[in-house]
Chains A and B, each alone.
Chain A
Amino acid sequence: MAQMNMKEAIRDAMRVELNRDPNVLIFGEDVGNVGGVFRVTEGLQKDFGEDRVFDTPLAESAIGGLAVGLGIQGFRPIAEIQFIGFIFEALDQIVIQAARMRWRSGGKYNAPIVFRTPFGGGVKAAELHTDSLEGLIAQSPGIKVVIPSNPYDAKGLLIASIRDNDPVFFMEHLNLYHAFRAEVPEGEYTVELGKANVVREGSDVTIVTYGLMVHTAVKAAEQLEKEGIKVEVIDLRTVSPIDIDTVMESVKKTNRVIVLQEAQKSAGVAAEVIAQINEKGILHLEAPVLRIAGPDTIYPFAQIEDTWLPNPARIIAGVKKVLDF
């Protein structure tokens, strides 16, 4: 098995699908010749030609709309939005057009599109390059939101997303592109969308999280283990829809939960997870479910982002709070 970082795993997924299905197309700003500003699509244009992998003019709404039109024509577009902050320019095409294509046509048309975009803090990027906008997309009906935390999942989830006949918003954390290598099988395999992963088993407290925060949670869990506190960490992998069954199994075991997200605290994925835990089994809880998240401010300039982002110390304090309730 090959060792890959997350960027290579994502590229490998696209290569596998470009090979397998002639209808798969990749386009966006700068994705062709140089392979994107992060080189995620590097080499794909050379191998598959300019009809399959191509640069577009700089216009996010048109990239989204082009994907919708090509989807209607039977293609399977992978449209890259260069940075997360630019999705607002394309939001109409993503959440109004693509996400409601099946519904408004009564099932006649669909939009088998993957919108890929890098996001995520801790890399000292420019303003509007790092925001966690998954909650915004997750609130829109008709589109799935996928956020991998490791190379294996990234490849399997991306292949599953490309094969999905509905639109998928696929978010790639900037801080995970090169963070580490892991074993990734060659060829094709899928990781089911909408299925969470128990990353680490424990019996005292459950941390539900996704993306880069999976690794931050595991770090906190390792430190807590030295104090005899056993933390279970769940990686949601898909934040819309949420795999509440896997979460609830854990809740029934630990009875104490923290939901951890990098995004601002209010009205986001964490709030949704807590609402669903309440609906499914509030009586399994021994303490209120806590949210650990970014504060409700505009995402900060680079200088203080390390303080702004949730860290192991804040998680450890949160775990102790729910244990002491």
Chain B
Amino acid sequence: MSKVPYEVYTEDVEALSVLSPDGEVINKDKMPTLTDDQLKEIMYRMVFTRTWDDRAVNLGRQGRLGFYAPVSGQEATMIGSEFALEKEDFVCPGYRDIPQLVWHGLPLYQAFLYSRGHQHGGQIPDGVNVLMPQIIIGAQILHATGIAMGFKLKKQKSVAITYTGDGGSSEGDFYEGLNFAGRFKLPVIFFVQNNGYAITTPFAKQTAAKSIAHKAIAAGIPGVKVDGMDIFAVIRAVQEAAERGRNGEGATLIEAVTYRFRPHSLSDDASKYRSKEEEGQWNEKDPIARLAKYLEKKGLWTEEDTLRVREEAKATVNEQIKKAEQTEKMTISGLIDTMFEVTPKHLEEQKADFE
């Protein structure tokens, strides 16, 4: 019996890589243009973020933070993607994407307050174009799509970027967002940090697609894959996607293949679903070590610089967590007053029960 002929796009998508694990630029054409100061700034942010993550895990164990999703290993995707944006661009994060918010302008103590379940964490300062971290895995993808439509309607040459993980790419909202962005040609960047695991479910059990980048095909937008441990590849891909958006060429899906060195959150044990061997292999691709090698060769960074930034980060985290802890506690009245612009009578009555 002859088979029904069919054709499916099955070609592999090669990940963009610019910097080798040894710190050599292996793809000069795709190397982003960065000044020495910018290179040092990027390194500073990565080291700072790693130290803050170390501290945050400890603070979480001490009960001084609430929900916290560790970020170590993903510094290149987080810091690189944000660094490629302008201040006017809008960041729509998932729950792990706190570094992007902070480097885009959210004060660190407010990020801590958000983790501690305090409303003030979400009172984003004026001029900081970010949303609060999203808990519903795909919801922010649609918000970014709407924000991008807003830019388009206002004829403002800005882009919205939204983050989710490999698990998030299975959500209905992911497909709906990509499809809307394709249909309306919106300046939005869908940035998937594929860290290999949705909590404990490995990528192989997440999808039969060859890559997440392939999923862009169905929405009629470009999909690219980058080495997410390579900050230059990330910066380059986001810069190109942002340029497309600003030029009215529409949306881009970026899949960045990365790894979280720690568990999904402070309440799960990664050793139950990952091998030491696998973790070791990814440690060798550490995005910070990789950039450090490159910068050291250029004479822009030394081990002393790393130690200095670590100390600075520790001091800043200590100061900011104290500020968060000293922020006045929320009240039920305060909660009620932020339900509506004008508090309805029945809520005023309920408020009185707590005063």
Partner-B contacts on A (CB < 8 A): 25, 51, 56-57, 59, 61-62, 64-75, 92-93, 96-97, 102-110, 141-142, 164-166, 194, 241-242, 244-245, 276
Could you tell me if B139 and A69 are in contact, using CB atoms closer than 8 angstroms? no
Quick one: CB contact mask for B165-209 with A, threshold 8 Å, 1 for yes? 000000011001101100100000000000000000000000000
Contact B123 A106 (CB under 8 A): yes
Could you show 11 A-B contacts with beta carbons less than 8 Å apart? A59-B179, A62-B173, A62-B176, A65-B146, A70-B150, A71-B146, A73-B150, A106-B123, A108-B122, A164-B341, A241-B345
**Cβ of A110 and Cβ of B341 under 8 Å apart?**
yes
- What residues on B are CB-neighbors of A92 within 8 Å? 136, 139, 173
Which among A69, A96, A276 is the interface contact of B147 at CB below 8 angstroms? A69
Is B257's beta carbon under 8 Å from chain A? no
Contact A69 B149 (CB under 8 A): yes
Interface residues in B245-282 by Cβ distance below 8 A to A read none
Chain A residue nearest to B119 (CB atoms) is A106
Residues of chain B lying within 8 A (CB to CB) of residue A102:
338-341
- CA gap between A242 and B344 in the complex, in Å: 10
Q: Do residues B338 and A106 form an inter-chain contact, with CB atoms below 8 A?
A: yes
Residue numbers in B under 8 Å from A104 (CB-CB): 119, 122, 132
- What residues on B are CB-neighbors of A61 within 8 Å? 142, 172-173, 176
Q: CA A241 – CA B121 in complex, angstroms?
A: 28
Given A51-B153, A102-B340, residue A72 in contact with residue B131 (CB < 8 A)? yes
Closest residue of chain A to B178 (Cβ to Cβ) is: A62
B-chain residues with CB within 8 Å of residue A142 when the two chains form the complex: 339-340
Decide if A65 touches B153 in the complex (CB within 8 Å): no
The answer for the CA separation of A96 and B132 in the assembled complex, in Å, is 14
**Interfacial chain B residues near A74, Cβ < 8 Å:** 150
| Chain B residue contacts of A69, Cβ below 8 A | 92, 142-150, 160
- Are A62 and B124 closer than 8 Å at their CB atoms? no
A72:B346 contact, CB within 8 angstroms:
no
Question: How many A-B contacts are there with CB distance less than 8 Å?
Answer: 131
B binding-site residues for A, Cβ under 8 Å: 92, 119-124, 131-132, 136, 139, 141-151, 153-154, 160, 172-173, 176-177, 179-180, 183, 335, 337-341, 344-347
Q: Are A64 and B346 in contact (CB under 8 A)?
A: no
Which of B151, B172, B176, B183 has most chain A Cβ within 10 Å? B176
A62 and B143 contact, CB distance less than 8 A: no
B143-A68 in contact (CB<8A) = yes
B339–A105 CB distance below 8 A = no
Residue B123 contacts which of A70, A97, A105 (CB distance < 8 angstroms)? A105
CB A281 to nearest CB in B, in angstroms, measures 14
Residues of chain A within 8 A of B179, CB atoms compared? 57, 59, 62
B146 to A70, Cβ gap below 8 A? yes
Q: Tell me the complex Cα distance, A106–B340, Å.
A: 11
Q: Are A65 and B142 in contact (CB under 8 A)?
A: yes
Interface pair B144/A241, CB less than 8 Å apart: no
A103 touching B335, Cβ below 8 Å: yes
- How far does the Cβ of A179 sit from chain B's closest Cβ, in whole Å? 30
- Across the interface, name the chain A residue whose C-beta is closest to B346: A241
Residues of B within 8 Å of A71, CB to CB, are 146
Asked if A65 and B177 sit within 8 Å, CB to CB, the answer is: yes
Min CB distance A203 to B, Å, is: 26
User: With the chains together, A25 CA to B153 CA distance in Å?
Assistant: 11
B107 → A minimal CB distance (Å): 13
A97 and B339 contact, Cβ closer than 8 Å, known pairs A61-B173, A104-B119, A106-B119? no
Which A-chain residue is minimally distant from B123 (CB atoms)? A106
Question: Do B149 and A66 touch across chains, with their CB atoms under 8 A apart?
Answer: yes
Taking CB atoms, residues of chain A closer than 8 Å to B346 are: 241-242, 244, 276
Closest chain B CB from A106 CB (angstroms): 4
Measured between beta carbons, the chain B residues less than 8 angstroms from A242 are 346
CA–CA, A109 and B124, complex, Å: 9
A68 and B160 alpha carbons, distance in the complex (Å): 14
Query: Which single residue of chain B is at the shortest CB-CB distance from A56?
Result: B180
Across the interface, A141 reaches (CB within 8 A) one of B136, B149, B183, B339, namely B339
In the assembled complex, the Cα of A165 lies from the Cα of B339 at a distance in Å of 11
**Chain B residues within an 8 Å CB radius of A165:** 341
**In the bound complex, do residue B124 and residue A108 qualify as a contact, i.e. CB atoms below 8 Å apart?**
yes
Contact between chains at A65 and B340 (CB < 8 Å) = no
B139 near A108 with CB under 8 A, answer: no
Write the nearest CB–CB distance from B7 to chain A, whole angstroms. Answer: 25
Residue of B nearest to A22 (CB): B153
Q: B122, A70: Cβ atoms under 8 Å?
A: no
Question: A105–B121 Cα gap in the complex (Å)?
Answer: 8
Closest-by-CB residue of A relative to B150 is A73
Q: Note all chain B residues with C-beta closer than 8 A to A166.
A: 340-341
C-alpha spacing A242/B347, complex, angstroms: 11
From known contacts A57-B183, A106-B123, infer whether A65 and B173 are also in contact, taking CB-CB under 8 Å: yes
A130: shortest Cβ distance to chain B, in Å? Answer: 25
B149 to A: closest C-beta gap in Å: 6
Is there contact, CB below 8 Å, between B344 and A68? no
CB of B305, distance to nearest CB on chain A (Å): 37
Q: In the bound complex, what is the Cα–Cα distance between A166 and B341 (angstroms)? A: 7
Most A CB within 10 A of own CB, among B150, B183, B337: B150
* Given contacts A73-B154, A93-B139, A103 and B145 within 8 Å (CB-CB): no
